[in-house]
Structures are given as C-alpha cells and as structure tokens.
Amino acid sequence: MNRIDRLTAILVHLQSKKVVTAQEIANRFDISLRTVYRDVRSLEEAGVPLGAEAGKGYFIMEGYHLPPVMFTSEEANALVIGSKLIERQTDKSIKQHFQEAMFKIKSVLKSNEKEGLEKLESQIRVASIPQMESEDFPNNFLATIQRALVDQCVLEFKYFSNYTGDFNVRQVEPIGLTFYGGHWHLLAFCRLRQAPRDFRVDRLVKLQMLEETFETTPTRVESFMEEILRGNELSEVEISIDAQVARFISTQKYYQGFVSEYEKEGRIQMKFLVPGLEYFARWLISFGNAVEVVSPESLKPILLNLVDELNKHYK
C-alpha cells in the first residue's frame, strides 16, 4: 500500500471509532510507531482536525467528516457474503437494518460495480435450517438486545424452558451475543438465578429494554462469556480413535467440546470437556469399534447400555 492510500485508510479508521491508539494503527498497516506519528502529523498538516489523549490515542474533532466513502469492487463483494449470512442467520430486526445499510452502500458504487454486485448476489446461496415463523415466538429481538448491550440496560422477558415446558419472567444484565448450534444465544447475568445464564433468543417472548442500567467491565464480560460457554459442571473425557476415522470428524469434534489431541501408536488421543456423558455417548457410539474410551470409566457402562438398547430394539 502506497503512502497516499495508507493516509486515506488511517483517516477512515480514525472516523470508525471514538479513540484509536497508535499501536492499533501500527498493527493494522504493519508499520512502526514512528511511521504512525509521521502519518498523523501529515494528516494534521493537511487540515484534518485531530486531537490526542495522553495514554489513550487519537481522535477526530466533532463535526469533521470525509465525503461519502468509496468502496473497491472486492470490498463491495465481501459485503455480499455478509448480507447472505445475515439473511439466513439473523432475525427480522437485523435484516431490515442491514437491508437499509446495503441500499446506502450501493448508492455510492459506480454503475458497472452495481451490475457486478447484482450478478454476484444471484450466484451466492447460504444453506441453513429453515426458520419457522411463530406468533408465540416472534424471534425479532436482536436489534433491541444489541442496543441494550451498548447502553448497558437491563432486559426483561418471558423465557420458555424446554425442561419445564412453561414460561417464567426473567430480568437480566446482558453480557454478549453468540451464535452456535444454528441459533443466536443471549449471554447474561440472570437476577432470578443470581448467576450467568445462556438464553436462546428464539425462545424469548415479550422482551423489553428497561430504563434501569448496570455497570460492567471488559474483564467481567470476558469471564462471564467463558463461564457460560464452557459450562459450570463439565466432565473431562479422553478417547482413542482410529487415525483414518479421526480425519472425518475434524469439524464435528468442535461441537462436542473438543480440547486437544495427539498421536499415540498410530491412533489419535482426543480430550473433550462435555456437559453430559450420555449425550456424548450417543455421538461416540456412531463410530463403533473405531473408538475406545480411555477415561472416565463411568462412560463405558453408558455405552454398553446404549448398545443393549439397540440390540433389543432390532432383535
């Protein structure tokens, strides 16, 4: 990247955040801190009103804006991938906002770039599990949850529990959003349970953002997300699996709590942290005699019981 392009990119970067550190700029453009300082000085000499906070970073004075941002063809094409993922893996509230943003993005493209974008949109598909529309579960809350995360506002909603089959009212302090298992999950501190909890967003009903706010810190957010995602009571499992079979579960294993692996005597030793041994056993049994349980011993009788059930069922 030549210096003129880098100066323009640095200016766009500065407009994207409230405060940007010199180290952040250096890391992004793979330049030294001395070069960052020289580039910032050049922007100031060109009339860009920059400010600096000791120990924090640089910022652009309020009221200064660049003309409409121009996108390269590659950047616009990358946005098509993002739009397709959002179309299939978010709710109505996010789809609506992103569609409006895409109209604005397309408005600054050249005619030939717009044609290329439309062609690319028709050639990309994202396959996913169809989302069932339901009046009982509107699944239209992601935008509100995002706002609550930014403003640190308490959320209140009714939550459907698969275990009890009914609803209960929860007030939570939202900590983060994560996507796994084909669904969005709200990670939050539940005031009813007085503990971090994971709520599937498509099981929320009558969600509202309260005026009450709460205090949080990046450290608290990180520790809560780790605790929720890893679970509070996990069992460690070690298995030995045929190396040829192990090649075919390279993706599956990450959904089962995979931790690490190493080779031993032509086989692969794998470690997992799992929330329930029976659920893990049902996955393990699909590999037949290609897998052996190293530990814990309590997993073996569970597998034997499952084999016995299958034997009686098909006998």
pLDDT at 183 (0 to 100): 78
pLDDT at 163 (0 to 100): 58
CATH number of 151-230: 2.30.30
Q: Is the pLDDT of residue 240 over 60?
A: yes
Rounded Cα distance between 258 and 251, Å, is: 10
Helix residue spans in the chain (DSSP H): 3-16, 22-29, 33-45, 73-89, 92-107, 111-123, 142-151, 218-230, 243-246, 277-284, 299-314
pLDDT at 302 (0 to 100): 94
Q: Is 129 helix (H, G, I), strand (E, B) or coil?
A: coil
Give the architecture (CATH level 2) of 3-60: Orthogonal Bundle (1.10)
Rounded Cα distance between 294 and 195, Å, is: 33
pLDDT in tens, 268-312: 999 998 877 988 999 999 999 999 999 999 999 999 999 999 999
Strand partners, 198: 187
- Domain boundaries, given as residue ranges, for the chain: 3-60, 73-123, 151-230, 235-314
Q: Is the pLDDT of residue 135 over 70?
A: no
Average pLDDT over residues 148-154: 93
Lowest mean pLDDT among 71-75, 125-129, 134-138, 144-148: 134-138
Of the pLDDT bands very low, low, confident and very high (cuts 50, 70, 90), residue 129 is: low
Average pLDDT over residues 149-171: 84
Which pair of structure tokens corresponds to residue 157?
């909603």
182, 129 contact by CB (below 8 A):
yes
Q: Is it true that 151-230 and 235-314 share their CATH fold?
A: no
CA-nearest of 188, 214, 211 to 201 is 188
Of the pLDDT bands very low, low, confident and very high (cuts 50, 70, 90), residue 97 is: confident
Average pLDDT over residues 113-126: 81
pLDDT in tens, 30-61: 999 999 999 999 998 888 889 888 888 999 88
**Does 3.30.460 match the CATH number of domain 235-314?**
no
